[in-house]
Amino acid sequence: MAVDGVPIFGASIDFSDGATFITTSFVLDSASNGILGTGQLADANTRIDISPFCISASIRRGRNRILDKFEAGTATVVLKDSTGDFNPANPSGAYYGKLTPLRKIQIFADYNGTRYPLFYGFIISYTTNFQVGIDSVSQVTLQCVDGFRLMNNVVFTSLPAAAAGDSTGTRINQLLDLAGYPSVQRSIDSGDSTCQTDPGTADRNMLDALQLIGDKTEFGGFFAGNNGNFYFFSRSTLSKQAANPQVTYSDDGVAIGYQSIELMHDDVQVVNAVSVNRLGGSIQKVTDATSISTYFTHSGLRQDILVETDAEALNQAQMLLATRKDATLRISSLSLNLFDPQNPARIVAGLGTDIFNPIKVTKTMPGSTSITKTLLVQGVQHDMTKSSFNTKLITAEPVIKGFVLDSTLAGVLDGTEGLLSY
């Protein structure tokens, strides 16, 4: 039973081919969907709302640490299936013949008249669990992945459109064009770095190639959003994001509250001997003797990146060393209960948060101490039923900290947040 003033999750399946979700089907002889220019060619059963059948759902997107690669996002949706319509082996089912792998799925939450996207991806399996008993209901579990799975399945050798001097954003678009990913489902920055020509020497994985450009060559971020779009943020975009947090969480009773928070003080993110090697260039290595003396050697290697000069490779090494040579108390995650009608600001913030969104978090601790951090969201997790809605944000401090004019955090001369980036 729905509870007033709380988000209710739901989902819809699109049975059409391709990666673009059919938002409005064009149906002949339909007064609403038969108007030329208002829909995509499909039949009436191309997109179905499965919300009434949803029992629970869970979503895992992003990465656990800021220096790790983004993995393919995953989701699980459990449906009640009293009629057998979602059993792929039932020839009398309403969707028989349509329940094939890689059909598109959207998971969302409705709150106060607004629909918030939480996951866009593809169903990779349908698992039917037949129950026996008077009160039991047969269930079908949908295992889902996001668009990164499609890129991980593509292997290529050459990229004919590539040329020396391409911006990182141009190169990412060239790769996505080669993979056939829809241009309407991309939001790609121009980028701050330029690339060597594509090496084209051996079979390569498309996802690895995209992350080599977006995450390593540019030192930015390439990820799949909660709306199905691929995003590429340049390093200057990330530094501006980090300088202007839009949401503040605190336990002071004034800002948005959280249910739990995880603080870590360890050497996991310490890097004090950094080597960066561009393809065909010389290894650029920088070290910090004080950090090595304190924490022992923690090496970091970025290899075969496609920047054009050794000077830029050196800049990258120096930036990474400057922001990761010391161990600091860090906030690694915070958890939010969104099934709480008394806290609408928390609900809106939790539903609207996506990867790389900047947040400010304060935790008061025993002994009259507190910690305040400006963070970038690295991962988003949702666990939902019809009577609960729990969200966890995986967080990390930014690697790139640029000097940003008019920012109270990164616009302070001689400040620790506004390091001049390359």
- Can you give the pLDDT at residue 361? 97
Q: Characterize 362-381 residue by residue with b for buried, 16 or more Cβ atoms within 10 angstroms of its Cβ, and e for exposed.
A: bbeeeeeeeeebbbbbbbbb
CA angle 141, 144, 149 (to 5 degrees): 155
Please check whether residue 278 is in contact with residue 235, taking contact to mean a CB–CB distance below 8 angstroms.
no
Cα separation, 263 vs 267, in Å, equals 13
- Can you give the pLDDT at residue 29? 52
pLDDT tens, residue by residue, 313-363: 999 999 999 999 999 999 999 999 999 999 999 999 999 999 999 999 999
- Can you give the pLDDT at residue 65? 67
More confident residue, 293 or 137: 293
Cα separation, 404 vs 394, in Å, equals 25
Find the mean pLDDT for residues 91-120. 96
E strand residue ranges, 196-313: 204-205, 221-224, 230-233, 247-249, 260-264, 273-278, 284-287, 299-305
pLDDT tens, residue by residue, 202-251: 899 999 999 999 999 999 999 999 999 999 999 999 999 888 898 999 99
Cα separation, 187 vs 233, in Å, equals 9
Alpha-carbon 401 to chain mean position: 20
Quick one: pLDDT band at residue 405, thresholds 50, 70, 90? Answer: very low
- Can you give the pLDDT at residue 242? 85
Cα separation, 422 vs 418, in Å, equals 12
* Domain boundaries, given as residue ranges, for the chain: 8-61+68-143, 152-224, 246-265+328-396, 273-324
| DSSP3 helix / strand / coil % (the chain, rounded to 5) | 20, 35, 45
pTM summary value: 0.90
pLDDT tens, residue by residue, 160-215: 999 999 999 999 999 999 999 999 999 999 999 999 999 987 899 999 999 999 99
Cα separation, 315 vs 284, in Å, equals 9
**Mean pLDDT across the chain:** 88
The dihedral over CA atoms of 287, 292, 297, 302, expressed in degrees to the nearest 10, equals: -30
Cα separation, 387 vs 357, in Å, equals 27
Q: Which fold has domain 246-265+328-396?
A: Elongation Factor Tu (Ef-tu); domain 3 (2.40.30)
β-strand pairing of 299-305 with 273-278: parallel
